[in-house]
């Protein structure tokens, strides 16, 4: 009888625990590792922070006498990964232009001796005949292409040098190829497969949702004040502020420095600026941010791909990016450690026109073809819809990448947290706007339509006799800015079409007529007065953390990283430090149970951590050796919700409304709505009249009985979108409690 081959996964998991300190693989990591070990090509698409690197690093560390070549676009990215691997006692080397001849010779010696598991190189170096001959001499059989979306014309960061990587397959026909990227639509995924000539690849696409990220989208007004409000919320924390131009970067950096912020800039050189000086400035900013001596960078989008810093607590865009893919990649640099982070996007109508003009200029200069021009315009329409729509931000981003989003309230965006008010007469206002578009013959833009609706008697309106239209002055009590915003929202919700001409014109579509006939309702938003709220992830991630101990651990880590010349995250991620401050271990064994504390780090840093935590715990009078069960994310969230919900129950017994309880507890209305559902299901009250009017309750019960209790959307639509999801959930909980 032939013996069954041994499953390598238990050994791989033990290796990962020993070197990296992770006791469980994340979703899709196991499948990606198996594909690598089985010599099968693969394309792995995981959101930033999803653990892509481990998918090629762990198999390389497991295999003996073999080298995995990692193709990476930036030297800084390679350096950070090599430093992190060395810190985990994995033999890795990078070969790039910063090495002198002696260092390159030593690297070649180490590689030939078989003492290296991973070799990092740029795509430019990879394409040289000399380097390819060297790799053939080493017998390389595995290639990992990081940031693989750069190979696609349709990707958000296309790089011509990546396109040439397709020829490597011919030079290394027996090798397996593995592409890794954080952002790729189905079209981009197929292009990567085609360009790399992947053979029967395992295509592994992770969940694009990042529940730890809190998304906010705001109209850009006094943007410096909006920037300062963000910095105030994240005092002492690290973040990036993206600006659309070099001049904006310089202006904002100077302003922030004048206000006392330790801000540094990162952007391309100005025409009158020395290229050498700009290179020096960029390197200084990158090194300071990487080392943690600077926590705030104001930059153009050129800054970011080479940053492997995991503790960014916010990313702020002062202008609309040119695609959802760009935004997902740039905003996704926040919260890579899995902890809460905020992504703020400030936008205005001029942003879209700026990007369109740039795309048209690129077309005129023959830098892009007609197909790419139209693709760029389509991407702009999509990000504009994201900015102006009234759908959950997480839902829009996830559905853009072709995945289903089943959560009714994400608890992590401005809309679901109740920070945005809805106009009470939204449908009527929408009907008036759409009717005006029809009355002016679908031949004018949003500015003209807004003027007609406001009853403005300017020269153009009088000449066209649009002051005689039935829609003239129908919205005279509203400001021009509000009407323009509503027009943008209708376009964003695809209830109105806007042409992509140099001077865009508004056109009606099939959905427009549904609204005007009263067959479809509309929700138009306005900026609410509610203060920014904490997301559910933030509440869960801080539960049980002793902040003084956490801060002390971060300071200890920063000093240690500075002495060793490495990035702080290569020592420990913030998530591990928070868990240490929760558990407050007194023994090495207890410390070793915390995720991210591998055997090497336990030997190197364990004694120092136990001394610091023990001393501070004693000074403050805190308990020690707490259960590590609370470290599981799902357990933390559940416990936080349970404690807070129990605190809310007495107020529900008194019949207080959700808004009243939210104000008393200092919680988001959406969060307290979740507590109310729990209260109803657990305590089974005789009536829900304090929270749902009887007439609404009866209508909802009728719809729920017809369409079922498992999915709320059919009932929501059957109720003409007049009864909020939150109310339907309460009614479902009431029905469940009585059945």
Q: Which of 558, 562, 633, 548 is nearest to 595 (CA)?
A: 633
> Judging by DSSP bridges, how do beta strands 118-121 and 92-95 pair with one another?
parallel
Percent helix, strand and coil across the chain, each to the nearest 5: 55, 10, 35
Q: Which of 66, 124, 64, 71 is nearest to 94 (CA)?
A: 71
Q: What integer pLDDT is reported at residue 672 of this predicted model?
A: 78
Tokens 């920037």 -> residue: 227
Could you give phi then psi for residue 312, rounded to 5 degrees? -70, 120
Q: Record the pTM.
A: 0.73
Q: DSSP for 164-211, please give it.
A: GGGGHHHH-TT-EEEEEES---HHHHHHHHHHHT-SS-EEEE-----T
> What does the DSSP 8-state code read for residue 537?
H
- Chain CA centroid to CA 690, Å: 38
Query: Would you tell me how many other CB atoms lie within 10 Å of the CB of residue 66?
Result: 16
> Judging by DSSP bridges, how do beta strands 506-507 and 497-498 pair with one another?
antiparallel
Q: What integer pLDDT is reported at residue 304 of this predicted model?
A: 59
**CA pair distance 100, 223, nearest whole angstrom:** 46
For 124, 267, 269, the CA distances from 158, given in Å and listed in that order, are 15, 19, 21
Q: What integer pLDDT is reported at residue 640 of this predicted model?
A: 42
Q: Do domains 9-205 and 213-404 have the same CATH topology?
A: yes
| Burial of 188 per CB tally in 10 Å (0-12, 13-18, 19+) | buried
Query: Would you tell me how many other CB atoms lie within 10 Å of the CB of residue 378?
Result: 11
Tokens 């009864």 -> residue: 723
Contact between 516 and 462 (Cβ < 8 Å)? no
- Chain CA centroid to CA 261, Å: 25
420 backbone φψ class: left, alpha, beta (φ>0; ψ -120 to 50): beta
Could you give phi then psi for residue 205, rounded to 5 degrees? -115, 120
- Chain CA centroid to CA 1, Å: 52
Query: Would you tell me how many other CB atoms lie within 10 Å of the CB of residue 79?
Result: 20
The residue ranges of every structural domain in the chain are 9-205, 213-404, 421-527, 543-631, 633-738
Given CATH 3.40.50.300, say whether it is the number of domain 9-205. yes
**CA pair distance 324, 343, nearest whole angstrom:** 13
**CA pair distance 213, 335, nearest whole angstrom:** 7
Q: What integer pLDDT is reported at residue 577 of this predicted model?
A: 94
Q: E strands within 632-711? A: none
Q: What integer pLDDT is reported at residue 538 of this predicted model?
A: 81
Beta bridge pairs of residue 93: 119
**CA pair distance 671, 673, nearest whole angstrom:** 5
**CA pair distance 26, 146, nearest whole angstrom:** 19
**CA pair distance 407, 409, nearest whole angstrom:** 6
Q: Count the alpha carbons within 13 Å of 629 in the hemisphere toward its beta carbon.
A: 3
> Judging by DSSP bridges, how do beta strands 213-219 and 202-205 pair with one another?
unpaired
Contact between 116 and 135 (Cβ < 8 Å)? no
Contact between 300 and 242 (Cβ < 8 Å)? yes
Adjacency order of strands within the sheet including 118-121:
92-95, 118-121, 68-71, 142-145, 176-181, 42-45, 202-205
**CA pair distance 44, 506, nearest whole angstrom:** 41
For domain 543-631, which architecture applies? Orthogonal Bundle (1.10)
Chunk the chain into consecutive blocks of 10 residues (it has 739) and report each block's average pLDDT, rounded to whole numbers.
65 90 84 94 86 93 92 83 88 89 91 94 91 94 91 68 84 94 84 91 90 91 88 91 92 94 87 71 85 90 68 95 90 90 90 87 87 88 86 91 84 86 88 96 94 94 95 93 86 82 87 92 69 74 85 93 85 92 93 90 94 92 78 45 62 87 69 79 86 91 80 77 83 83
Q: What angle do CA 541, 76, 327 make, to 5 degrees?
A: 55
Q: Which pair of tokens denotes residue 170?
A: 């011919």
Fold classified for 213-404: Rossmann fold (3.40.50)
Domain 421-527: which CATH number of 3.40.920.10, 3.30.390.10, 3.10.100.10, 1.10.10.10: 1.10.10.10
**CA pair distance 72, 357, nearest whole angstrom:** 32
For 160, 363, 476, 495, 618, the CA distances from 376, given in Å and listed in that order, are 18, 11, 36, 22, 59
């Amino acid at each position: 009888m032939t013996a069954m081959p041994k499953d390598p996964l238990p050994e791989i998991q033990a290796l990962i625990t020993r070197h990296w300190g992770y006791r469980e693989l994340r979703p899709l990591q196991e499948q990606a590792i198996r594909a690598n070990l089985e010599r099968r090509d693969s394309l792995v698409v995981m959101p930033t922070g999803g653990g892509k690197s481990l998918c090629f690093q762990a198999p390389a560390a497991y295999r003996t006498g073999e080298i995995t070549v990692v193709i990476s676009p930036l030297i800084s990215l390679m350096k950070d990964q090599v430093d992190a691997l060395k810190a985990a006692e994995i033999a890795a080397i990078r070969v790039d232009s910063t090495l002198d001849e002696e260092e390159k010779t030593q690297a070649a010696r180490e590689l030939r001796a078989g003492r290296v598991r991973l070799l990092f190189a740029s795509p430019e170096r990879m394409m040289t005949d000399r380097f390819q001959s060297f790799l053939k001499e080493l017998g390389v059989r595995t290639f990992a292409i990081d940031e693989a979306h750069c190979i696609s014309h349709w990707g958000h960061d296309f790089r011509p040098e990546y396109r040439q990587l397709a020829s490597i397959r011919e030079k290394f026909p027996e090798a397996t190829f593995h592409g890794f990227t954080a952002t790729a639509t189905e079209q981009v995924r197929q292009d990567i497969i085609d360009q790399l000539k992947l053979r029967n690849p395992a295509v592994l696409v992770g969940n694009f949702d990042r529940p730890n990220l809190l998304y906010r989208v705001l109209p850009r007004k006094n943007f410096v004040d909006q920037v300062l409000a963000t910095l105030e919320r994240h005092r002492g924390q690290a973040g990036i502020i993206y600006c659309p131009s070099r001049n904006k970067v310089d202006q904002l950096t100077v302003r922030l420095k004048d206000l006392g912020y330790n801000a540094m800039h990162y952007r391309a050189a100005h025409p009158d600026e020395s290229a050498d000086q700009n290179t020096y400035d960029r390197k200084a900013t990158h090194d300071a941010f990487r080392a943690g001596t600077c926590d705030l960078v104001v930059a153009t989008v050129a800054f970011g791909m080479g940053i492997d810093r995991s503790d960014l607590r916010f990313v702020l865009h002062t202008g609309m990016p040119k695609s959802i893919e760009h935004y997902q990649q740039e905003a996704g640099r926040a919260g890579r450690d899995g902890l809460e982070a905020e992504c703020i996007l400030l936008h205005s109508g001029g942003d879209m026109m700026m990007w369109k003009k740039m795309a048209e200029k690129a077309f005129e200069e023959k830098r892009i073809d007609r197909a790419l021009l139209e693709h760029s315009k389509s991407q702009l329409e999509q990000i504009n819809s994201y900015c102006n729509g009234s759908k959950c931000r997480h839902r829009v981003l996830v559905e853009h990448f072709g995945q289903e989003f089943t959560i009714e309230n994400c608890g992590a965006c401005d809309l679901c947290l109740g920070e945005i008010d809805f106009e009470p007469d939204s449908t009527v206002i929408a009907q008036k706007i759409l009717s005006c578009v029809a009355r002016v013959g679908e031949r004018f833009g949003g500015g003209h339509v807004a003027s007609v609706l406001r009853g403005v008697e300017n020269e153009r309106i009088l000449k066209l006799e649009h002051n005689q239209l039935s829609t003239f002055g129908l919205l005279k009590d509203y400001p021009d800015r509000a009407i323009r915003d509503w027009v943008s929202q209708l376009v964003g919700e695809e209830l109105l079409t806007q042409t992509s001409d140099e001077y865009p014109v508004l056109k009606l579509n099939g959905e427009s007529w549904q609204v005007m006939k009263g067959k479809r309702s509309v929700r138009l938003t306005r900026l609410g007065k509610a203060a920014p709220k904490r997301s559910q992830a933030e509440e869960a991630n801080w539960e049980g953390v002793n902040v003084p101990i956490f801060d002390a651990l971060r300071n200890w880590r920063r000093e240690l990283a500075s002495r060793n010349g490495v990035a702080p995250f290569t020592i420990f991620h913030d998530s591990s430090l928070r868990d240490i401050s929760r558990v407050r271990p007194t023994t090495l064994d207890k410390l070793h149970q915390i995720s991210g504390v591998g055997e090497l780090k336990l030997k190197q840093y364990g004694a120092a951590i136990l001394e610091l935590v023990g001393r501070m715990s004693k000074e403050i009078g805190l308990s020690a050796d707490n259960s590590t069960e609370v470290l599981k994310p799902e357990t933390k969230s559940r416990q936080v919700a349970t404690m807070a919900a129990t605190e809310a129950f007495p107020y529900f017994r008194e019949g207080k409304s959700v808004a009243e309880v939210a104000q008393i507890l200092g919680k988001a209305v959406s969060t307290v709505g979740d507590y109310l559902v729990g209260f109803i299901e657990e305590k089974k009250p005789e009536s829900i009249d304090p929270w749902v009017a009887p007439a609404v309750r009866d209508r909802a019960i009728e719809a729920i009985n017809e369409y079922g209790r498992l999915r709320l959307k059919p009932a929501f639509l059957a109720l003409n979108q007049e009864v909020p999801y939150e109310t339907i959930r309460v009614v479902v909980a009431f029905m469940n409690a009585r059945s």
